[in-house]
Amino acid sequence: MELILVRHGLPVRIEDADGPADPPLSDEGRAQAVRLADWLGREPIDAVYVSPMRRAMETAAPLADALGVDPVVDEELSEFDRDAHFYIPLE
């Protein structure tokens, strides 16, 4: 068995959300997700597991579509800061 770990694409910056910040991908992040699907979409991948965070699900969606699988959302994969009222990309 081989495990491939992929970090989510670049999300938008959120500094003061009313609740937990869960940003969508930026335009660049969506392009990164498409490139990921182009790169891995023809590989013999049986499953795609994803955290419930919006940025992670949006990153996984093009790959899952290319593979013809439904992403499996796993709460245990959530980021440590999932309840923070801000999300500032490290990039």
Quick one: average pLDDT of 1-8? 92
Q: Phi and psi dihedrals of 12, rounded to 5?
A: -75, 160
The structural domains of the chain, with segments of one domain joined by +, span 27-77
Indicate the pTM of the whole model: 0.91
Q: Please state, as a whole number, how many other Cβ atoms lie within 10 Å of the Cβ of residue 42.
A: 10
The dihedral region occupied by 35, where left means phi > 0, alpha psi between -120 and 50, and beta the remainder, is alpha
Residues 33-73 have pLDDT tens digits of 999 999 999 999 999 999 999 999 999 999 999 999 999 99
